[in-house]
Amino acid sequence: MDYIHIRDMEFYGYHGVLKEETVLGQRFRVTVALATDLKNAGQTDKLDNTVSYADVYTLCEKIVEGKPYKLIEAVAEEIANVILETYKVEVKGIRVEVIKPDPPIKGHYKEVAVEITRGAFDE
């Protein structure tokens, strides 16, 4: 299995259970790994034989900057579902990480994140 990685895409959204999260919004980072076969793309050097990174970025952007969710778990699930549905032939599995770098919770930590895996993913 081959993989396409798009790491640390940064967006601004209004996801959260606390009022300030849904009113003020905050930054989110998203990383995706797509399990796919890249042999044909590598041999032909044609974009038609792979998944467009720009299109995947745009799908993630629309989800994170669109409809608010209470949980980043729901954001990750929506990203996985949309990408798997959009690329049902090309993408056999997906790993999605959604990171909240600055959640409004008390304590000392670098960030909070969720990571989900859907479909065939060997890595």
Residue 91 sits in a domain whose CATH number is 3.30.1130.10
Catalytic residue positions, numbered:
100
Domain residues for 36? Answer: 2-119
Q: What percent of the chain has pLDDT over 70?
A: 98
Q: Examine the pLDDT at 76 and tell me if it is beyond 90.
A: yes
pTM, full prediction: 0.95
pLDDT at 123: 59
Residue matched to tokens 């996985």: 80
Determine the average pLDDT of the residues in 67-81: 98
5: which 2 tokens? 């990685």
Taking the CB of residue 118, how many other CB atoms lie within 10 A of it? Answer: 18
Of the CA atoms within 13 Å of residue 108, those in its CB half-sphere come to 0
pLDDT tens-place string over residues 34-53: 999 999 999 999 999 999 99
The domain tally of the chain equals 1
pLDDT at 104: 86
Distance CA 17, CA 1 (A): 38
